[in-house]
Amino acid sequence: MTLDATMPAINEEALDVWAGRLTMRVKVAGAGAPLLYLHPAAGLVWDPFLSHLAERYTVYAPEFPGTSAGDPYAIHAVDELADVVLVYEEVTRRLGLTRPVVVGQSFGGMLAAELAAHFPALPEKLVLLDPIGLWRDDVPVSNWIATPPEQLPALLFHDPAGEPAQRTLQPPDDPEAARAATAGMVWAFGCTGKFTWPIPDRGLRNRLHRVAASTLIVWGREDRLIPVAYADEFARLIADSKVVIIDDCGHIPQVERLEETSAAVDAFLQPGPPSSRPAVQPSNRRQP
Amino acid sequence: MKITLFEQAPYRYLPPDFDLHYESVCSTPYFPLVTGDGVYSSIRDFMDELALGARAGFDGIAVTEHGQSSYDMMPNPDLVASAPAHLTETEGLEVAIFPMGRSLGKSREPTRVAEEYAMIDVMSGGRLVAGFPVGLSYDANVNAGVPPMQTRPRFDENLELVLRAWSEREPFAWNGKYSQYPQVNIWPRPLQQPAPPVWLTGVGNPRTMQTCLERGFGFNYLSWFGAKLTGKRIFDRFWDIADQVGVERNPHRMGFLQTVAVAETDERAEREYAEHLEYGFRKGLGSIPPEKLGLPGSIDIRGVQALLKDPGDFGLYYQMRTVTFRELVDAGVVVVGSPATVREQLIEFCRDYRIGNLHAMLAFGSLPRDLTMKNIRLFAEEVAPHLRGLWTDSGFQHHWWPERLGGVPRPVQPSQEEATVR
């Protein structure tokens, strides 16, 4: 396993979709079988996890409408979640992806699950990293959009003072760039919030039985945004699924626990003889 | 110059350390903080004070809408406004009823808003002035559950529906993005046809200003953040846009809200009002967390960038939770003193910025009934008469006031999209 993966060459494709009303921008990197990555509510950040995936796959990472630099009003082209799902299906067709692996994180996890539920034959396999989309009154999902910015680190990370959290939340040094980054994140929350506010439950529970792909559900045990209890909820509703819980980990396992998360994902995507599998700490895994 | 009495309906008996422990909206725990007697007298005194304002000679009575709020217990201003609407009609008082008003970015029942306003206009015999704020984030998005990014387009759509519902001759079907009705045909319609005077509320967004100027709506600037800090920015911006749009600088299209406290002398005004002003701003506006004023998506990305670079439109807001009386005065959040002191400041301000409608907020925070009544009487008798003639000789007519009350209303202009379609 190589987690010191260097940043690959990243290309961008711009696709005019939705009868020309919307331009979807897709970051593309790596080589191999296709993998579609759907980013969380704050927008797409190319991180070491994606670089790692790009070593074995061609990673396609579309930017959610409105979150692409210079095109904020693209969000106004879509009003319903069902339309968003159709847009993403159109993107996979336009990219010519045949049965891609679909990986989604948080908001992107909800979107990945929706895509797999609407189009059961689309994904080869499905990986959900702390996805949103379900709701239980006894363990409510935190309202990340209404959380004051200074409280976001503690909501997102088990160890907000740790290096992964600090690296992720570090604003650019240049004040102008820092303001643009802040405004961009605020706007990204607004764009994705169009489909999650006020309660991030758009009825996914009623559709998850349609997911046919073999599914890996990864959860940070200390996720404070959407508690780990939801892992079993997803597993119960998706027939061919298994759960991996990552210890000492918050809402973003691929950042806070990159090694363990990558190992779990690799083992799921490339099962082989045990000797060729990446090493994984037994305590970090749980087979339901 | 038109002068209204503006009041919010705060809970007047919060504990002294409220602002150290609680937010003033959405999350504020009700039962530990409120008694039945306390809430009854807060609302009873508030209603009586509005009635006094109508009898004391104010040109209008103005209120706003805020749900789930301890500083303004006003889930629907039309419920409150209907009481003075009837009272003034029975007592023969020629006073405008001015809800400033129903938030259309919040409303999921826009025809209900059209109906309520029509009803008030009929009850008052054509004295309604119809205010439409977009709606603060906490109210539209938290209290009403509207996705922040929908607030503005929902406001735009609902406003078109309300205007049409008031005046359309035939029942019509409404196929909106946010509401659909098979048949809209409200009863009653406003006496003022095709529409009562329409005012939008803003805190500085140029787009709201431009809409008002292009379509012929009045513009209300609610100056919570300190008029000495924000006034010049806001008013210069408004009149600059008026020039760009090619609209005359008629002061009557501008409304300005100012908190005022009048006593017999400057010294006595400070002694009587200071603690209640500090209560009002620390425990009210100051205890609204910033993120609840502008949730992600509710402010255009260009607006977010502009605010990050220059938060000047928010004036004293970020210090409001610990603000002192002196800071409130220095920033112009409040105008306090003897009648002479107060009128001098108000006349200068209104003249400099071409303000034709002053909304005097004369109750605040914990101010008890007797002091509020005194403030209202002194303002009506010794301040308002000196302001009323400010624009009399300006040559401008007041097109944003009911005809029955001396206004010369003009029909609003269709929106750009509508004009294109037609």
d(CA B196, CA B400): 9
A280 belongs to a structural domain = yes
What is the overall mean pLDDT for chain A?
93
Are the beta carbons of B387 and B349 closer than 8 angstroms?
A: no
Instruction: Say how many domains are in chain A.
Output: 1
pLDDT band at A279 (very low <50, low <70, confident <90, very high): very low
Which residues on chain B are in Cβ contact (under 8 Å) with A135? none
Q: Is the pLDDT of residue B193 over 60?
A: yes
Which residue range forms the structural domain that includes residue B379? Answer: 2-421
Contact across the interface for B305 and A189, Cβ inside 8 Å: no
Residues of A with CB under 8 A from a CB of B: 72, 75, 79, 145-149, 179-180, 182-184, 186-191, 193-195, 197-199
Find residue B202's DSSP bridge partners.
B221
For B49-70, what is the HEC assignment? HHHHHHHHCCCEEEECCECCEC
For residue B141, the distance in angstroms to the closest alpha carbon of chain A comes to 7
CATH code of the domain in which A93 resides: 3.40.50.1820
A203 belongs to a structural domain = yes
Residue B371: how many CA atoms within 13 Å on its side-chain side? Answer: 21
Contact across the interface for B147 and A189, Cβ inside 8 Å: no
Find residue B97's DSSP bridge partners.
B61, B128
Chain A nearest-CA residue for B293: A146
CATH code of the domain in which B260 resides: 3.20.20.30
What crossing angle do the helices spanning B227-245 and B206-215 adopt, rounded to 10°? 50
* Nearest CB partner across the interface for B148, out of A188, A190, A195: A190
Instruction: Say how many domains are in chain B.
Output: 1
Which residue range forms the structural domain that includes residue A225? Answer: 11-284
**A196: which residues sit within 8 A by CB, 6+ positions away?**
A41, A107, A110, A132, A145, A202
Q: In A4-59, which ranges are continuous DSSP H helix?
A: 48-53
Angle at A247 between CA A241 and CA A250, to 5 degrees: 90
Asked whether this complex has an ipTM greater than 0.90, the answer is yes
Q: Output the CA torsion sign for B174, B180, B185, B188.
A: negative
Mean pLDDT along residues B40-51:
98
Q: Could you report the per-residue pLDDT of A203-246, keeping only the tens digit for each?
A: 999 999 999 999 999 999 999 999 999 999 999 999 999 999 99
Contact across the interface for B147 and A184, Cβ inside 8 Å: no
pLDDT band at A3 (very low <50, low <70, confident <90, very high): low
What is the overall mean pLDDT for chain B?
95
Q: Could you report the per-residue pLDDT of B383-408, keeping only the tens digit for each?
A: 999 999 999 999 999 999 999 999 99
Q: Is the pLDDT of residue A285 over 50?
A: no
pLDDT band at A170 (very low <50, low <70, confident <90, very high): confident
Q: Which of B165, B136, B183, B161 is nearest to B415 (CA)?
A: B161
Q: Could you report the per-residue pLDDT of A222-232, keeping only the tens digit for each?
A: 999 999 999 99
A235 belongs to a structural domain = yes
Mean pLDDT along residues B141-164:
97
Q: Could you report the per-residue pLDDT of A70-104, keeping only the tens digit for each?
A: 999 999 999 999 999 999 999 999 999 999 999 99
Q: Is the pLDDT of residue A28 over 60?
A: yes
Q: Which of B126-140, B308-322, B344-358 has the least mean pLDDT? A: B308-322
Are the beta carbons of A130 and A109 closer than 8 angstroms?
A: yes
Contact across the interface for B142 and A75, Cβ inside 8 Å: no
Contact across the interface for B304 and A146, Cβ inside 8 Å: no
Q: Is the pLDDT of residue A111 over 50?
A: yes
A1 belongs to a structural domain = no
Contact across the interface for B296 and A184, Cβ inside 8 Å: no
A6 belongs to a structural domain = no
For residue A83, the distance in angstroms to the closest alpha carbon of chain B comes to 14
Best to test chain A binding among B146, B157, B298, B305 (most A CBs inside 10 Å): B305
